[in-house]
């Protein structure tokens, strides 16, 4: 077979090898990146495992195909054609699966996120996953921060320690308090006790705390509370600390830290957008990335079939 006659089948086999390597790298990368959030990315993890199998078939097809073309072996060529057919079918199935996963991704992510929110108080695993995602994407709740009002974080009779942090996170003032937080909507009633050596110092400390809280949160008091117009500031929702942004006031409840959406008539600093859209964008991009790679593999695999079945003499 002349070199020019070998060029096209060699190119096809080389491209199958390249896309198989890309497939393998992307699949392993996705599994490594989202393994800690398997509840939210389980379809993508499963599809990644399936695509690793496709990559193996791609390697076999390309390596045997290159050998067949270079040696003009019709027997090996027929074997490669059969394997290439299997590769094309597997890649086509993966492409269809990726499209289905992408179409249902937002519903899947929303359900899993809500389930983990509801288990936040009782499950350390759910707390880790929710906090990690909210910190990573700077978001709060499923669709909005108000979703946490239904998550059961509110309780009565909690002993809390409030920590007020300035916007630059360089100055921290602590205040021991007993807080009665009722289910949202709620009004906070607080009895504050400050331990100082002199009455004058206690007075100055109280003034400092009030001044710090007012200065760090005054900018948030607008006509729209948490992105919702006409929502009363007295509507207080207990949020995870991961919902809080710079300059927020964190509340310690037992061994965990939380963030009250409002208190003392002031609005706290917290993220107001939900997490589902951000997570769904990542999940959808992963699925469609597989779809693009598989599209190329489907075309290349089916183009390779007649090339491998063709006898060497046909290329002469």
State residue 2's pLDDT score. Answer: 57
Indicate whether 124 belongs to any domain: no
pLDDT class for 154, splitting at 50, 70, 90? low
Residue 144: both structure tokens together: 């909005």
Indicate whether 300 belongs to any domain: yes
Indicate whether 161 belongs to any domain: yes
283 and 243 part of one domain: no
Indicate whether 19 belongs to any domain: yes
What range does the domain containing 285 cover?
3-118+276-315
75/139 Cα distance (integer angstroms): 59
Higher-confidence residue of 85 and 2: namely 85
Query: 27 near 48, Cβ under 8 Å?
Result: yes
CA 159 to chain centre: 33
25 and 112 part of one domain: yes
89 and 187 part of one domain: no
Q: Of 228, 250, 267, which residue is a domain's last?
A: 267
State residue 143's pLDDT score. Answer: 93
State residue 224's pLDDT score. Answer: 67
Residues 6+ away with beta carbon under 8 Å from 269: 216, 217, 220, 244, 245, 246, 247, 248, 249
pLDDT class for 72, splitting at 50, 70, 90? confident
Indicate whether 135 belongs to any domain: no
Higher-confidence residue of 295 and 73: namely 295
145 and 252 part of one domain: yes
173 and 113 part of one domain: no
Indicate whether 125 belongs to any domain: no
114: left (phi over 0), alpha (psi -120 to 50) or beta: alpha
Q: How many domains does the chain have?
A: 2
154 and 261 part of one domain: yes
211/297 Cα distance (integer angstroms): 64
State residue 157's pLDDT score. Answer: 35
In angstroms, the first-to-last Cα distance of the chain is 5
245 and 197 part of one domain: yes
288 and 247 part of one domain: no
17 and 104 part of one domain: yes
193-222 residue pLDDT tens? 333 333 444 444 444 444 444 444 444 444
For the entire predicted model, the pTM comes to: 0.70
104 and 154 part of one domain: no
State residue 109's pLDDT score. Answer: 93
Angle at 185 between CA 271 and CA 148, to 5 degrees: 40
239-258 residue pLDDT tens? 999 998 887 788 777 777 88
Indicate whether 54 belongs to any domain: yes
Burial status of residue 81 (CB atoms within 10 A of its CB: 0-12, 13-18, 19 or more): buried
Q: Of 245, 267, 289, which residue is a domain's last?
A: 267
201 and 253 part of one domain: yes
Indicate whether 127 belongs to any domain: no
31 and 101 part of one domain: yes
3-59 residue pLDDT tens? 667 889 999 999 999 999 999 999 999 999 888 888 899 999 999 999 999 999 999
Residue 230: both structure tokens together: 């006409």
Burial status of residue 233 (CB atoms within 10 A of its CB: 0-12, 13-18, 19 or more): middle
pLDDT over 70 percentage in the chain: 73
Q: Is 238 helix (H, G, I), strand (E, B) or coil?
A: strand
Mean pLDDT of the chain: 78
CA distances to 12, 59, 111, 246, 251 from 290, rounded to whole Å, are 20, 17, 23, 37, 43
96-148 residue pLDDT tens? 999 999 999 999 999 999 999 999 988 899 999 999 999 999 999 999 999 99
234/140 Cα distance (integer angstroms): 19
């Amino acid at each position: 077979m002349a070199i020019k006659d070998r060029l096209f089948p060699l190119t096809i086999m080389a491209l199958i090898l390249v896309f198989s390597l890309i497939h393998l790298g992307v699949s392993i990368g996705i599994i490594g990146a989202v393994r800690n959030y398997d509840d939210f990315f389980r379809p993508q993890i499963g599809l990644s495992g399936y695509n690793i199998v496709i990559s193996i078939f791609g390697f076999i097809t390309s390596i045997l195909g290159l050998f067949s073309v270079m040696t003009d072996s019709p027997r090996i060529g027929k074997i490669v054609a059969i394997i290439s057919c299997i590769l094309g079918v597997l890649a086509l199935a993966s492409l269809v699966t990726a499209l289905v996963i992408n179409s249902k991704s937002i519903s899947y992510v929303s359900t899993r996120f809500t389930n983990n929110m509801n288990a936040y108080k009782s499950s350390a695993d759910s707390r880790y996953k929710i906090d990690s995602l909210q910190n990573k994407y700077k978001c709060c709740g499923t669709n909005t921060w108000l979703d946490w009002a239904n998550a059961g974080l509110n309780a009565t009779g909690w002993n809390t320690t409030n920590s007020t942090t300035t916007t630059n996170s360089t100055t921290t003032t602590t205040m021991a308090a007993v807080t009665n937080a009722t289910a949202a909507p709620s009004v906070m009633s607080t009895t504050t006790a400050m331990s100082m050596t002199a009455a004058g110092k206690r007075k100055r400390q109280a003034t400092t705390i009030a001044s710090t809280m007012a200065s760090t949160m005054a900018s948030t008091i607008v006509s729209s509370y948490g992105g919702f117009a006409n929502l009363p500031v007295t509507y207080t929702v207990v949020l995870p600390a991961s919902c809080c942004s710079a300059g927020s006031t964190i509340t310690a409840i037992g061994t965990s830290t939380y963030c009250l959406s409002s208190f003392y008539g002031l609005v706290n600093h917290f993220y107001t957008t939900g997490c589902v859209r951000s997570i769904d964008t990542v999940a959808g991009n992963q699925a469609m990335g597989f779809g693009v790679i598989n599209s190329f593999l489907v075309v290349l695999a089916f183009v390779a079939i007649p090339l491998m079945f063709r006898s060497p003499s046909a290329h002469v």
